[in-house]
Amino acid sequence: MNNQELADLLFPNVKLSAQDILDKYPPRKLQKGQIVSRYAPSPTGFMHIGNFFQAFISYNLCRMNGGTLFLRLEDTDDKREIKGAKELIYELLGRFGITFDEYQTLDGKDVGAYGPYVQSQRKEIYQVFAKKLVAEGKAFPCFCKRTEGKAEILEQRKTKFIENDEREYDPCRDLTLEEVKAHLAKGDKFAIRLKTKNSGNERIKFKDLIKGEIEAKANAKDVILLKDDGIPPYPFAHAIDDTLMGTTLVVRGEEYISSTPVHLEIFEALGFKPISYCHNPLICKIAENGNRRKISKRYDPEANMIFYFEKGYPADAVLEYLLNIINSGFEPWRLKNPDLNWRKFTFGVNDITAVTPVFDLVKLADVSKNVIAKMSGEVLYKNWLAWAEEFNPELAKKLKLGKEYFIKVCTIDRDKPKPRKDIYCYSMIEEYFDYMFEAPKKSEIDKADKKLYKEFINVYAENFKMPASNEEWFEEVKQVADKLGYAIDNKAYKEHPENYKGNTAKACEFVRLALTGRKNSPTLFDIMQVLGEEEVTKRLNLSK
């Protein structure tokens, strides 16, 4: 079999040599230890948190080491491509402030010298290398039907063609030139497969930055290099692109560990040096049966990165939570440096957690509360409005109309050394402050308290005027309470509760209920100030 003749037969239009391509991608000039990493999403129409997780790891690694980060779009699976997917990826990355040194703009311009940064535009490159491998006898055309993982077909092939159960040679690897010609004459489509040099008994070792050295069975399958549409599946594209683009560190999910031996054999066949890997753990949830499972688009809304914007979590809160998962050193650092931007935090490549973490929305809420607690009332208002304009236009209208008022609302129990930490996302604020929009419709009052409540509010409302200070306000509550037989002295109350109708706490609760309908709200005096005397009086009278 003349391999060069076969190669020319298969790729009559490919004129460039591998060297021609290599010349276009000179090695990067890097300082010692400097990394080049990438984020390589597929445009599937949504961004999975696990996928974003990798981008974020790469981003952090690069930012800490002065490295280069590029974005490469892996749009080689035409069946999965969705319109607008590219835009969505760019939009989400932008919202999170994840920036790249090299990428292709939305209108198709490459920024950076190692493009094109979109795989579908690199078809010729892949073909050149595929042709080279065929010419060297390391790859061959395959005319079989696509199996695409269909069990029956795979099974059939196994029993028919596999010499022992350790290897999976493809039947087409031994086609004669004549047979190939016959196929081509019929116009049969062909894929290109790697002619594995292994028999299934070899072992290989490779290093992973998180897990250390991994030993595995070497690849012994004639894997696909080029699909019958001339486009490579992930492994071949990965080997070529990351080599050409000068990647020094590939961050990818754990699910790729198993296929790394395949990638390594492809690198070797191509004559490329292998690249360092960092296989990060997959983010999980606890399933109904108590087991962990991969966080999924189908069952977990939080698997989709758009979720956080719909709910209105600050981007930095999400990022800080993720940083928590990536590196456990972040939390102590944050405690020590409450006011520094998370971008100031550094950690080592080897310090990334190796355990599949369970995604915890409760913890995220806590992180987010702390992020929001640092916002001034004005900033909170701005962010809340921005969120509403996108996801709740009705609300946005109200917020804009009452701008001054709502800034005051947002400032309640804020802009002080120890702000409240109740709010963790913008979508919850409207409900949280519902009584600032209109008089409360529902009341959390205990049934048993109803009589006392009426009595108290009646007297309190009688001579109500807006207090000038928190102290004054409280004095007035106390006076009324005292008059009605409540304990002013909490100690006395604790000793003999039977002597009183309640204590000052109870009295305050009644006022709170009258004004907000709740037992729990920010400082009442602040609320009164924002509501204004007229409104407060109205609500008190309503509650009589």
Partner RNA sequence: GCCCUCUUGGUCAAGCGGUUAAGACGCAGCCCUCUCACGGCUGAAUCAGGAGUUCGAUUCUCCUAGGGGGUACCA
**Residues in region 372-411 near RNA by CB under 7 A:** none
Contacting RNA (CB under 7 A), which of 95, 183, 211, 544? 211
Check residue 302 for interaction with RNA (CB under 7 A). no
CA distance linking residue 284 with residue 300, whole number of Å: 10
CA distance linking residue 100 with residue 59, whole number of Å: 8
Check residue 254 for interaction with RNA (CB under 7 A). yes
Nearer to RNA, 69 or 284 (CB): 284
Partners of 203 in the β-ladder: 217
CB of 320 to RNA, least distance (A): 11
CA distance linking residue 13 with residue 128, whole number of Å: 10
Q: Which stretch binds RNA (CB under 7 A): 128-136, 446-454, 455-463, 467-475?
A: 467-475
Contacting RNA (CB under 7 A), which of 71, 224, 436, 481? 224
* Residue 92: exposure state from Cβ atoms within 10 A (0-12, 13-18, ≥19): buried
Residue 148: partners with Cβ closer than 8 Å, 6 or more residues away:
none
Looking only at the bridges linking them, the beta strands covering 276-280 and 249-253 are parallel
Contacting RNA (CB under 7 A), which of 408, 474, 479, 538? 474
Check residue 520 for interaction with RNA (CB under 7 A). yes
37-76 binders of RNA (CB under 7 A)? 40, 42, 74, 76
Nearer to RNA, 401 or 448 (CB): 448
Check residue 142 for interaction with RNA (CB under 7 A). yes
- Token reading at 286: 């606890």
- Token reading at 459: 């007297």
HSE-CB at 417 with a 13 A cutoff on CA atoms is 0
CB of 341 to RNA, least distance (A): 19
With b for 16 or more beta-carbon neighbours within 10 A and e for fewer, the 428-466 pattern comes to ebbeebebbeeebeeeebeeebeebbeebbebbbeebee
Q: Which stretch binds RNA (CB under 7 A): 21-29, 90-98, 100-108, 226-234?
A: 226-234
Contacting RNA (CB under 7 A), which of 422, 455, 476, 482? 422
**DSSP letter string, 439-474:** S-SS----GGGHHHHHHHHHHHHHT----SSHHHHH
CA angle (259 as vertex; 56, 273 as ends), nearest 5:
80
Contacting RNA (CB under 7 A), which of 1, 286, 492, 542? 286
Contacting RNA (CB under 7 A), which of 67, 377, 467, 522? 522
Nearer to RNA, 141 or 395 (CB): 141
- Token reading at 32: 């010692």
In the numeric block, the tokens 């081509």 are attached to 184
CB of 76 to RNA, least distance (A): 4
CB of 493 to RNA, least distance (A): 11
In the numeric block, the tokens 């391509």 are attached to 21
HSE-CB at 512 with a 13 A cutoff on CA atoms is 16
Inter-residue contact 504 to 490 (CB < 8 Å)? yes
CA angle (503 as vertex; 501, 506 as ends), nearest 5:
90
Inter-residue contact 279 to 354 (CB < 8 Å)? no
426-465 binders of RNA (CB under 7 A)? none
Inter-axis angle of helices 393-401 and 403-411, nearest 10: 100
CB of 390 to RNA, least distance (A): 28
166-205 binders of RNA (CB under 7 A)? 191
Sheet containing 191-194, strands listed edge to edge, beginning at the edge strand earlier in sequence: 139-142, 191-194, 224-226
For residue 326, the tally of other CB atoms under 10 A from its CB is: 21
HSE-CB at 465 with a 13 A cutoff on CA atoms is 2
Contacting RNA (CB under 7 A), which of 123, 173, 183, 293? 293
Contacting RNA (CB under 7 A), which of 107, 152, 178, 215? 215
Contacting RNA (CB under 7 A), which of 266, 509, 530, 539? 509
Q: Which stretch binds RNA (CB under 7 A): 22-30, 89-97, 126-134, 253-261?
A: 253-261
Check residue 468 for interaction with RNA (CB under 7 A). no
Q: Which stretch binds RNA (CB under 7 A): 52-60, 395-403, 415-423, 536-544?
A: 415-423
Check residue 331 for interaction with RNA (CB under 7 A). yes
CB of 95 to RNA, least distance (A): 22
Contacting RNA (CB under 7 A), which of 322, 524, 528, 540? 524
103-132 binders of RNA (CB under 7 A)? none
Phi and psi (nearest 5°) for 535?
-65, -40
Nearer to RNA, 391 or 525 (CB): 525
Q: In a 3-state reduction of DSSP, which class is residue 48?
A: strand
Check residue 508 for interaction with RNA (CB under 7 A). yes
Nearer to RNA, 361 or 386 (CB): 361
Please name the amino acid found at residue 116.
P
Looking only at the bridges linking them, the beta strands covering 36-39 and 68-71 are parallel
Check residue 256 for interaction with RNA (CB under 7 A). yes
Contacting RNA (CB under 7 A), which of 91, 110, 310, 360? 360
Q: Which stretch binds RNA (CB under 7 A): 10-18, 87-95, 140-148, 403-411?
A: 140-148
CB of 394 to RNA, least distance (A): 28
The residue count for binding RNA (CB under 7 A) is 82
Check residue 259 for interaction with RNA (CB under 7 A). yes
CB of 173 to RNA, least distance (A): 13
334-353 binders of RNA (CB under 7 A)? 335, 353
* Residue 252: exposure state from Cβ atoms within 10 A (0-12, 13-18, ≥19): buried
Nearer to RNA, 27 or 417 (CB): 417
**Residue 294's closest CA among 32, 522, 48, 45?**
48
Contacting RNA (CB under 7 A), which of 2, 258, 337, 499? 258
CB of 397 to RNA, least distance (A): 29
